[in-house]
Amino acid sequence: MRAIAIVTGVTSPLGQGLAARLVEDRFHVIGVTRREDATPASLGVHDRVVCDLTDADSLQVAREQLARSCVGIDRVWVLHAAGMPVVRALEELPPEQFEQAMWANFMGPVALTHGLLPTIRATAGRVLWLGSISGRLCAPLLGSYGPPKAALKSYSSILDLELAHFGARSIYVELGNVQTGLHSEAATIGERFPKASSYAQLYRQVPALAAELQSKAMPLDTAVDQIYAALTAATSKSVMLVGRDARMRAALSRIAPSLFGRIMRRKLGWPPR
């Protein structure tokens, strides 16, 4: 059987880990990356396609390349591990930067996948979206990350219903905190925020909060194992929770969503209401 797996965000730790597992399972893996200098060998994949998920022209070219690669293939899987969190108060986030985040986290992956849906449907393939529990309950300063993830979850659920008749699947993974290095990057926001910001008190709390999250984050290998199990299971759910904190926050969103706000305000040193 000729099987292709397309992995976006293949330079990310999760993308690399999932691509490696697919290679082990004898998929022909195509990595999608913005980096023009990245070679298939450096990415650990068989081929690579350069694509900027925030650029419509780049997406069109990539769709055409990938569609040609999938001609005559017996099974096509698409895994989206790309994402772009931005730590900034919504008031201080320029609309164009918010739009870019929406493209990177939602519109871009959807647009890339759209051109492959006929082949995914015809081959009873699978689409897996790495989302975030932030799509349910989002912390302050991550307002450009939670909304596109919520939209992605809704899109995936509808797509899964539409593809089910053909034996194809769309699976959305609600990730909790994983040791990918993002927390270390977020910790530097305390050194980069505008000193005159009205939200300075919030920004100053970010390094301590990032360190706390990092200390409790799920090991990368464990996350890859659980995500891959969700992808390959014969009867996967349309939405999969991965991580203890993801399960806890999901329960909180159903039982006492206002409690999350109180917890976050306390952690960030914001006065209670």
- What CA–CA distance (Å, rounded) separates 81 from 208? 27
Q: Please tell me which residue, 248 or 182, carries the higher pLDDT value.
A: 248
Which tens digit of pLDDT belongs to each residue from 237-270? 899 999 888 898 888 888 888 888 888 888 777 7
Q: What is 27-38 written as a DSSP string?
A: -EEEEEES-TT-
| 81/88 Cα distance (integer angstroms) | 22
What is d(CA 53, CA 100) in angstroms, rounded to the nearest whole number? 9
Q: Helix or strand or coil: residue 6? A: strand
- What topology does CATH give the domain 3-267? Rossmann fold (3.40.50)
Which tens digits make up the pLDDT trace of 91-150? 999 999 999 999 999 999 999 999 999 999 999 999 999 999 999 888 888 899 999 999
How many separate helices (H) and strands (E) can be counted in the chain? 13, 7
User: If DSSP states are collapsed to H, E and C, what string results for 39-104?
Assistant: CHHHHCCCEEEECCCCCHHHHHHHHHHHHHHCCCCCEEEEEECCCCCCCECHHHCCHHHHHHHHHH
Confidence at 272, pLDDT banded by 50, 70, 90:
low
- Chain segment 39-53, per-residue pLDDT in tens: 999 999 999 999 999
The SS3 call for residue 267 is helix
Single-letter code of the amino acid located at 254: R
Q: Percentage of the chain surpassing pLDDT 90?
A: 64
Domain extents in the chain: 3-267
- Written as six digits, the tokens of 82 are 């790309």
Q: Which amino acid is at 51?
A: C
Residues 6+ away with beta carbon under 8 Å from 184: 210, 214
